[in-house]
Structure 1
Amino acid sequence: MGALQVSIFILLPFLLMEGEKRLKWMSFFGTVVWCYLIGILIGNLTPDLLNKELTNSLVEVLILLAVPLLLFSLDLKKWMRNTKSTITSFIISLVSISIASVSVSFLFKNDLKEVWKVGGMLVGVYSGGTVNMSAIGKSLAIENETFLLVNAADIFVSSFYMLFVLMAAKKLLSPYFPKFQSSSENQETKEVELGFNFKEGGKALLLSLIVAGSSVGLSFLFFNKLFAPIILMGCTSLGILFSFSSKIRNLKSSFVLGEYLLYIFCIGLGSMCDFREVAVNAPSIVQYVTLVLLIAISLHFIGAKLFKIDFDTAIITNVAAVFGPAFIAPVARTLGNREIIVTGLTCGLMGYAVGNYLGLGIAELIKYFLN
């Protein structure tokens, strides 16, 4: 039965991705959302058919493998050569979400029993993406129901921000910011087609196993036990370190495989959700997420205005932080500026790199302040 369960989890993301290609309405939500929804349905409609211990072990392993696979594609040296305004704008986004998460935590300290963990997860997701939130949530051992509710609230609330970005942001906000200055040095505007090669994928998976194994080894070396935050930081740090090798960085299949493992993770985690637990805590968490995101976005654009950052750079770096690399190309097309695609993608990958450190750090800071 366990083999069948794992096989279903592995196959479902492929079917959902194919469905998105053939049915336009499916692509509106994205594969991550569909994976969570399918997982939740499986877990609540057929709870007796699932081995929860197997599912829990599976999601813990998958997130440790997905983090380095996604980070192998990071070109840190190239990102550091970005214009001053790009780096400044991205840093403003990181500072904004940190301030928002810490400040709002004080308002909800009596309403959410794991508010410091939720605060760290939100810093992770709004500085890099779902992979950061997933990794931080597992690292801090947050309850599965709470995790899924935070993720559902994030999807619900952030979708309104994305609609604003795609439909109204340029018209309403761009008059208050400097115009984007096209640079002849920034002509790398082709969208990269990411395919999957089994040989490349095998190499990337082997490297991620080495990274995960080394991180577990470090945990035992220093703590004589499995200590999740150290394992996560080890996977993140070694993933970044490996990315300095051009041979590893050019394994394009590593990013595709990392995303696919993340999809399986989402199905597994969704299947562990209990609707009864979710219903009790829903209002407080939705309010918390809404307030954090609103404050973070507002602080970002206020900071961008003060530092005289052009509108296109300000919004693409914020989208990279809040949504990750996946939405960069659609937003760039909406802005009519293909030059910012590479900048946005690189910032998104950089968010994967710093989001885990920042999220864990802010979680501990909130915990310290509230105790």
Structure 2
Amino acid sequence: MPVIVAVLACLLMPALLIILCQRIKILDKLGVVVLSFGLGIALSGFLDLTALFSGGDLTAAQISLTEISIALALPLLLFSINVKHSMRMAGDTMKSMVVAVVAVVIVTVAGAFLFKDALGENIWQIAGMSVGAYTGGGVNMAAIKTAIEADQNIFITMNTYDILLSAIYLIFVMTIAKSIFGLFLRPFSSSKEGQGEESENEMAHMADETANSYKSLVKLKAFPQTLLSIVFSGVAVGLALGFSSLLPESVSSVATIVSITTFGLMGSFIPFIRKLTNSFQAGMYLILVFCFAMGSMTDVRMLAELNYDLFAYIGFILLGSMVIQAIICKMLKIDIDTFMITSSAAIMSVPFIPVIAGVLKNREIMLPGFAAAIIGYALGNYLGVLVAYSTRYLLGL
């Protein structure tokens, strides 16, 4: 019963935040996405949630809730996107993603030389797994760990620090990153400018970035279409799970995400599905559930027992790669939104693309962001193994 209460809290807390944002303008300016994630972290920091809600049962419920919410959210968000319109920005996005990947590799290898004495002979394993994690995702880190036969204890510790540092990175991106990097990167220029009323109508459902956009979810007249969009999303997830179950377990997680994205995009080409009322808003609400649940899983107590050298190395990779990417993006005249979505695509992977797009208040960038993150998944394993053995050779280990 306590776990059921916790799950219900995760499902309903975003609704409470939406109501507060609708009534308090300063909260609305912060954004419901930021508030959902921040409140989850705050509750985790001030309350012992595992003790309050039966320990391991709560963790399992939180993990399941994040997986289900993001799986259903992705098709809902993609259903309502005009693919042709969104892909007009793909050129800059792909360039920026290549820059992001190159930046991660450069900083990781450079950091290996700096932290060699502190982290010892296993630095090459840490470097390889880091590149996999921050060009693809956690799945890539696990795959590289197996490929290079990395130390299990190091892998577990890196996973723990990855969760904490990724949360810090996400908070940074969701709050002040755009203000900082926007000082020297050009602003985003919408691809719909000058393309007529029809193009604007295609993006109308994404135009309202305030908490008021969620009001349509409680309109009874729209409920049948909202429910139908969720059903179609469930079908897309079911098909993706069925397809990935036919593949080797080592690639099933990546295959599931890619398949969900693919089936969501396929649905967007069907006019009836693309025009369903509230598909986008329902998807964004599930993103809020995902953010709150993720925030509540952040264990800030990990700071008490840090391996400071390993923590510093991973932090060096995250900060350094972002700075180098920003410098190169400036040289290539890539805009701030494209820089941030591709940095997030590399560091955080597919599930966080809608979160970042929401923070940027730029839904147009979402589909190119998905494409960039999927490319990161594909490259992560190759680059991770290559960097691991190259670093081992260069360091003479």
Name the TM tier (shorter chain). Answer: 0.7 to 0.9
Report sequence identity in percent: 23
Q: State whether residues 133 and 139 of structure 2, in contact with CA within 8 Å, keep that contact through their aligned partners in structure 1.
A: no
Q: Which residue of 1 aligns with 2:299?
A: 274
Q: Map 1:183-194; keep pairs closer than 5 Å.
A: 184-186=194-196, 188-189=199-200, 192-193=207-208, 194=213
The residue number in structure 2 matching 1:151 is 167
CA contact (8 A) 2:69 2:286 kept: yes
What amino acid is the match of 1:362? L
The structure that has the greater radius of gyration is 2
**Could you say which residue in structure 2 is the equivalent of 1:368?**
385
CA shift for structure 1 position 7 = 0.9
2:12 paired with 1:2: no
Helix, strand or coil at the partner of 2:195: coil
2:195 alignment partner AA: E
Query: Is 1:101–2:104 an aligned residue pair?
Result: yes
Give the structure-1-normalised TM-score.
Answer: 0.74
The one-letter code matched in structure 2 to 1:97 is: A
Q: Which residue of 2 aligns with 1:263?
A: 288
In structure 2, relative to structure 1, the CA distance for the partners of 1:70 and 1:183 (3 Å cut) is closer
Superposition pairs for residues 101-120 of structure 1, below 5 Å? 101-108=104-111, 119=131
Which residue in 2 is equivalent to 1:314?
335
1:65 to 64, 72, 92: 72
- Go from structure 1 to structure 2 and tell me whether the alpha carbon gap of 1:40 and 1:123 turns closer, same or farther (over 3 Å shift): same
Structure 2 CA distance for partners of 1:180 and 1:41, relative to 1, 3 Å: closer
Is residue 365 of structure 2 the alignment partner of residue 347 of structure 1?
A: yes
Change in CA separation of 1:213 and 1:182 when aligned onto 2, cut-off 3 Å: closer
**How far apart, in 2, do the equivalents of 1:24 and 1:118 lie?**
40
Aligned to 1:163: 179
Question: Aligned with 2:245: secondary structure?
Answer: helix
Contact 1:32-1:266 within 8 A present in 2 as well: yes
Confirm or deny that 1:326 pairs with 2:348: no
| Contact residue 31 and residue 359 of structure 2 kept, 8 A | no
1:88 maps onto 2:91 in alignment: yes
The 1:21/1:319 distance shift into structure 2, 3 A limit, reads farther
Structure-2 separation of matches of 1:224 and 1:189: 43
| Cα distance, 1:120–1:205 mapped onto 2, change above 3 Å | farther
How much does 1:148 deviate? Answer: 3.9
Q: Distance in 2 between matches of 1:322 and 1:29?
A: 21
Letter in 2 for 1:93: S
- Separation of aligned partners in 2, 1:226 and 1:182: 37
- Letter of the 2:319 partner, please give it: T
Offset of residue 10 of structure 1: 0.7
Q: Which moved more, 1:7-16 or 1:251-260?
A: 251-260
In the alignment of these two chains, the number of paired residues is 326
* CA contact 2:341–2:365 (8 Å) conserved in 1: yes
TM-score normalized with structure 2 length: 0.69
1:248-274 residue CA offsets vs partner (Å, 9 max, x unmatched):
222352221122112212222222222
Q: Within 5 A, what are the aligned runs for 1:165-314? A: 168-169=183-184, 184-186=194-196, 188-189=199-200, 192-193=207-208, 194=213, 195-196=216-217, 197-223=222-248, 227-278=252-303, 280=306, 283-304=312-333, 314=335
Deviations 1:3-39 (A, max 9, x none): 2111111111111222233334434543333222322
Q: Where does residue 154 of structure 2 map in the other structure?
A: none
Give yes or no for contact 1:105–1:366 (8 Å, CA) kept in 2. no
Contact 1:145 1:278 in 2 (8 A): no
Q: Residue 37 of structure 2 contacts residue 292 of structure 2 at CA under 8 Å; is this kept in 1?
A: yes
Offset at residue 315 of structure 1 (A): 4.2
Deviations 1:43-71 (A, max 9, x none): 34132123222222222222221222222
290 and 3 in structure 1: CA distance in 2 versus 1, 3 angstrom threshold:
same
Larger deviation, residues 200-209 vs 19-28: 19-28
Q: Distance in 2 between matches of 1:244 and 1:144?
A: 40
1:235-289 CA-partner distances (Å, limit 9, x unpaired): 1111112211122222352221122112212222222222232452654444322
Distance 1:11 1:220, change over 3 A: same
Aligned-partner SS, 1:74: coil
Deviations 1:291-327 (A, max 9, x none): 12111122222123xxxxxxxx834544554574335
Q: Does 1:55 align with 2:62?
A: yes
Q: Using the alignment, how far apart are the partners of 2:85 and 2:276 within structure 1?
A: 17
Answer whether contact 1:236 1:356 (CA < 8 A) is retained. no
Contact 1:76/1:350, CA 8 A, preserved across alignment: no
